[in-house]
A and B are shown apart, each in its own frame.
Chain A
């Protein structure tokens, strides 16, 4: 009996586990994912191999594949699989899809990687890559490995490309070799990053309006979709999509940050597995992006392929085709999402597809056979037309209101310049008539001149070139503001625009002497298209540098080294701005155990520069920055930035984003009221002095980003930390930067860091700039400059700098506060470890915010002895408006809550329901033109005027500066 049973068991094992068509348990070559699919094309071809060997005609613009990554192309699409030792973004290893687009077209994909759950342990971690070249039948890359935190759970993914396929056939397998039952999925996770590619889900109430991802509600949010598409709201990006091959629907979540799509949640017994086959589509115009052979761009090109694929896989009626043309004033009106974007719905509920008509206004979309269908047409962010799709699907000509065409020119004292023009409704009727959003998604703007995170015009903002620019604006009454940064006035003009009107507007700004000679304005935290969360083309990014009047830029894309050199050369602005190559390390894989924290953390963001980009290297030459404490990260970056390079801790108390910490000090629970030990002693702040790799300590940064973007909230949080660390004996230079990702989110150069190099830009080297910065010869803020000298009256001995100040009898400190007339300044303060002292208050702002008078807001000379106490201390000057009312309700030493109910005090009533503290935000932008912040917030939305100097370290006895101890 036993013998019979044992034989039966062994036989079952053999039959079940071996010899199957399986990459983990049998013959991977025989799996043939998505076998029913078949596509035809005129000139089939296939190639697979390192990216370095990919014919240029098949390469992808904006692709970030490294030379050693693996490319697959069939002349229709090109895909890049990261090399094993070249992990990017959220993935723990290579072996993931990092570029995908129409062959010779563009790439908008950051990463598509596989996971079995949304915890770091459940990411697929590959150990081997196998290249399979069976051309002309197919080419494939097979990745094998295990789950990152569960070695007993083995995984494999086969990426297969066949001739003429408009996408990859992908099969993933997972085998639970662990002793535990597990809840697993197999899902592809695309990291969209909120500001570039938008997922489009065909489900009731969705389309572009995907629900916000809440990791704690993931089980409920994990829902079925017949397919999911995605595309950037720009005309040159490809459309992406996925359809399941081995099941009827894909399941998962879609959010502006990411999509995770695959199988249903499944309890996987030990010894069992999951298999998932899908077709990952890229549709676009070879050589140009856009909509490929089907008219129009957006997700529609991908949806058409997905509908075709679903019909091949599941049968049923042929996809329904909907065609038409968009006109304005009888002329074709398409080619950009701002002009026209058409949505097709099923039965007026579930959006099925969306298309931006081509330049001729024509569109053709295909959707799975469904009836009835409805459509809606959006123009300038507003739903202008809607109706039912007639039998046959031809919508005919659809006419939307024609905008006015305005040619903008901006001059500075008569000379054409690069500038930003902001279009503001002049009355409520115009505001109501022009307020729009992208299909109800993304930021609302009035007027809505284009997607807020894309190229100019974005939202209500236009980059104006010296030669001028044409911009379409819906009819209405407007005020146009022109700005060239804080060293110029704001120009203003009022326009009444009629439909179809063609007109022009010229605005002239005048220089104002805010920045002294020898000081350079820098923005040391800037993102562009190389960042996963930016949709701004490089050309507009560089033009924004010049338009903001910034001299020095640190290019700090997330985990990718860039320097915009090619774009700067192409635009001929190398004499206007110096760009330091660099990066912002952005760890995404939680690993750091923090006492009291329920889940592991990441270490937040740090900027490093200068770094020279390495074309063809993974991440543009940036080292992998995951699973490292700051000290080890600094060690790893040292060889790249050199002795003069800068390590900067960014937004040290920023709130986490989708479970990833953005600020290191917040992540570790730094206690600003407690001392920092000299050596690790187990105290709450001991993590700062730990040397995780034996080299740098975790607080060995050269600079702290005290101001991040133009609002007051990050500055008010970070300054407490900056002060506390100085009091504890760790003073570093403080900076203020924009962290700009586009033209609307944070304005480039707001905030900014002025550095006293003593030279003009042309005579400055990166090393000299960095040395001056690290020496603390710095003023920072949102357009408010504070000039400081120290010494005998009339004969100052020195200015700002971290070199200790040894007071001499009779020394005075002279302080001069300067700002453009449109930036309000009413208060000047001196801050030491003992507290704040208001030096001037209720200062009058210039009568004419558009004039040139009143740049110097306050000038004072104070005996140095009056500012410092009986012991060594640090001294900082601040100016601007008094900070908004913020309070520290949880007593951790950092402000956390604002006056959100507007009753003039911060208390429990201001706290969001269900929370203990917060939110803390910049006060709303005023709508009344006579408000002191009105003009500034037109130019710099969400801003608060402030400026601060770097530390002056007062060494009273000249025996070396002694830290004053913990700040109360």
Chain B
């Protein structure tokens, strides 16, 4: 990321800004619980959002499977031109788990996630480029299950490059860390992740996004997944926008088979 900042030239206004409408952002398709690993654009911007996500894990042996859905409300605020703070809360998580003998529906709520980002505007090959360092942290002791704790963090560098007037390319490299602990012990996991997305403005009010997401290390010293994702964002009315997206792994040991997301947001600036 530092190299990219250095390599990139000063910001250019000639082609317009790298970030002018959040519908050009990539669709965040998280793979890990509570979504701390979700991607983002390098663009900073205040907004409130409500996102509903669904996930499926089907494991043929022993008929193990989970179907889950959660709803997350989030708030992002900007402090000056280069800093953004965020807070998100998973209000409800419903998970249906089954194997050959059990079938259980588990409701829960939490956790809280805080995020921050520091961004700059640059140019690359004469085109506008936004760069940011972003952090997402799942706060321990904010889940409904008592008697233990879970925490997670994502440290990411992200870039958004306006390659064409209607085309933005997004890139992200990230480190993921997670722990879960209770009286029976602790488990830690970590992974490295990278993703690229292309977001094209099809019409003035609609952008479509396709992306690849790669992750390694979560399931051990191995490739977790290379996943594809597709989505769309559209301006509904005024500051209101909506999004829909889905992702599925195509390579690797990823346990999740499908993630879908549906959201609505209101921009605050």
Contact, CB under 8 Å: A118 / B101: yes
Q: Which residue of A is nearest B100, CB measured?
A: A119
Q: Is B205 an interface residue (CB 8 A)?
A: no
Q: Is A443 an interface residue (CB 8 A)?
A: no
Q: Is B135 an interface residue (CB 8 A)?
A: yes
Would you list which residues of chain B between 203 and 224 have a CB under 8 Å from chain A?
Answer: 218-219
Would you list which residues of chain A between 1 and 49 have a CB under 8 Å from chain B?
Answer: 1-2, 5-6, 8-9, 12-13, 16-18, 20-22, 24-26
Chain A residue contacts of B141, Cβ below 8 A: 12
Contact of B218 among A117, A179, A215, A274 (CB under 8 A): A179
Would you list which residues of chain B between 135 and 188 have a CB under 8 Å from chain A?
Answer: 135, 137, 139-141, 143, 145, 147-151, 153, 155, 178-188
Contact, CB under 8 Å: A274 / B184: yes
CB within 8 Å for A219 and B189 given contacts A173-B184, A181-B95, A271-B181: no
Q: Which of A262-270, A698-706, A749-757 lies at the interface?
A: A262-270
Among B102, B103, B145, B188, residue most surrounded by chain A Cβ atoms (within 10 Å): B102
Chain A residue contacts of B95, Cβ below 8 A: 181, 267
Q: Is B92 an interface residue (CB 8 A)?
A: no
Contact, CB under 8 Å: A180 / B66: yes
CA distance A181 to B180 in the complex (A): 12
Contact, CB under 8 Å: B104 / A271: no
Smallest distance from the beta carbon of B70 to chain A beta carbons, Å? 12
Prevailing SS type, chain A contact patch: mixed
Contact, CB under 8 Å: A17 / B97: no
CB within 8 Å for A216 and B186 given contacts A180-B255, A269-B150, A271-B148: no
Contact, CB under 8 Å: B137 / A13: no
Would you list which residues of chain A between 678 and 709 have a CB under 8 Å from chain B?
Answer: none
Chain B residue contacts of A25, Cβ below 8 A: 181-186
CA distance A1 to B136 in the complex (A): 12
Contact, CB under 8 Å: B183 / A26: yes
Q: Is B51 an interface residue (CB 8 A)?
A: no
Chain A residue contacts of B147, Cβ below 8 A: 272
In the complex, per-residue mask of B87-125: 1 if CB is within 8 Å of any chain A CB, else 0: 000000001011111111010000000101000000000
Contact, CB under 8 Å: A179 / B151: no
Contact, CB under 8 Å: A270 / B187: yes
Contact, CB under 8 Å: B185 / A17: yes
Smallest distance from the beta carbon of A32 to chain B beta carbons, Å? 14
Smallest distance from the beta carbon of B118 to chain A beta carbons, Å? 11
Q: Is A818 an interface residue (CB 8 A)?
A: no
CA distance A181 to B101 in the complex (A): 16
Contact, CB under 8 Å: A273 / B185: yes
Smallest distance from the beta carbon of A899 to chain B beta carbons, Å? 35
Chain A residue contacts of B114, Cβ below 8 A: 5
CA distance A707 to B105 in the complex (A): 48
Q: Is A174 an interface residue (CB 8 A)?
A: yes
Prevailing SS type, chain B contact patch: strand
Contact of B187 among A22, A26, A175, A181 (CB under 8 A): A175
Q: Is A182 an interface residue (CB 8 A)?
A: yes
Q: Which residue of A is nearest B185, CB measured?
A: A25
Contact, CB under 8 Å: B184 / A175: yes
Q: Is B50 an interface residue (CB 8 A)?
A: no
CA distance A26 to B185 in the complex (A): 7
CB within 8 Å for A275 and B184 given contacts A119-B100, A183-B104: yes
Interface size class of A (residues with CB under 8 A): 35 or more
Contact of B62 among A121, A215, A218 (CB under 8 A): A121
Contact of A9 among B155, B179, B182 (CB under 8 A): B179
Contact, CB under 8 Å: B186 / A267: no
How many chain B residues touch A (CB < 8 A): the figure is 47
Contact, CB under 8 Å: A13 / B179: yes
Q: Which residue of B is nearest A593, CB measured?
A: B61
Contact of A181 among B97, B139, B140 (CB under 8 A): B97
Contact, CB under 8 Å: A119 / B99: yes
Chain B residue contacts of A9, Cβ below 8 A: 137, 140, 151, 153, 179
CB within 8 Å for A180 and B57 given contacts A13-B151, A272-B145: yes
Smallest distance from the beta carbon of A406 to chain B beta carbons, Å? 50
Chain B residue contacts of A20, Cβ below 8 A: 183
CA distance A216 to B100 in the complex (A): 7
Q: Is B33 an interface residue (CB 8 A)?
A: yes
Chain A residue contacts of B106, Cβ below 8 A: 181, 267
Contact, CB under 8 Å: B62 / A269: no
CA distance A181 to B59 in the complex (A): 13
Among A9, A117, A173, residue most surrounded by chain B Cβ atoms (within 10 Å): A9
Contact, CB under 8 Å: A269 / B179: no
Chain B residue contacts of A267, Cβ below 8 A: 95, 97, 104, 106
Chain B residue contacts of A18, Cβ below 8 A: 186
Chain B residue contacts of A182, Cβ below 8 A: 97
CB within 8 Å for A12 and B149 given contacts A25-B182, A175-B184, A270-B187: yes
Contact of A177 among B64, B102, B150, B187 (CB under 8 A): B187
In the complex, per-residue mask of A862-896: 1 if CB is within 8 Å of any chain B CB, else 0: 00000000000000000000000000000000000
CA distance A182 to B62 in the complex (A): 12
Smallest distance from the beta carbon of B192 to chain A beta carbons, Å? 16
Chain A residue contacts of B151, Cβ below 8 A: 9, 12-13
Q: Which residue of A is nearest B63, CB measured?
A: A598
Q: Which residue of A is nearest B60, CB measured?
A: A598
Contact, CB under 8 Å: A117 / B185: no
Smallest distance from the beta carbon of A883 to chain B beta carbons, Å? 37
Smallest distance from the beta carbon of B99 to chain A beta carbons, Å? 6
Q: Is A379 an interface residue (CB 8 A)?
A: no
CA distance A26 to B188 in the complex (A): 17
Q: Is A154 an interface residue (CB 8 A)?
A: yes
Q: Is A599 an interface residue (CB 8 A)?
A: yes
CA distance A269 to B185 in the complex (A): 13
Would you list which residues of chain A between 591 and 613 have a CB under 8 Å from chain B?
Answer: 598-599
CB within 8 Å for A24 and B184 given contacts A121-B62, A180-B255: yes
CB within 8 Å for A175 and B185 given contacts A12-B151, A121-B62, A181-B97: yes
Smallest distance from the beta carbon of A284 to chain B beta carbons, Å? 33
Would you list which residues of chain B between 235 and 259 have a CB under 8 Å from chain A?
Answer: 255
CB within 8 Å for A183 and B102 given contacts A24-B184, A274-B184: yes
Smallest distance from the beta carbon of A30 to chain B beta carbons, Å? 12
Chain A residue contacts of B116, Cβ below 8 A: 1-2
Contact, CB under 8 Å: A179 / B183: no
Chain A residue contacts of B188, Cβ below 8 A: 13
Smallest distance from the beta carbon of A128 to chain B beta carbons, Å? 16
Chain A residue contacts of B189, Cβ below 8 A: 179, 270
Chain B residue contacts of A5, Cβ below 8 A: 114, 137, 139, 153
In the complex, per-residue mask of B27-68: 1 if CB is within 8 Å of any chain A CB, else 0: 000000100000000000000000000000100001110100
CB within 8 Å for A265 and B255 given contacts A12-B141, A25-B183, A25-B185: no
Would you list which residues of chain A between 155 and 205 have a CB under 8 Å from chain B?
Answer: 173-177, 179-183
Would you list 5 pairs from A and B whose C-beta atoms are within 8 A, ordered by A residue? A16-B182, A173-B183, A179-B255, A180-B57, A183-B97
Add 6 more A-B contacts to A16-B182, A175-B182, A269-B143 (CB < 8 A).
A9-B137, A180-B64, A181-B95, A181-B97, A273-B185, A274-B184
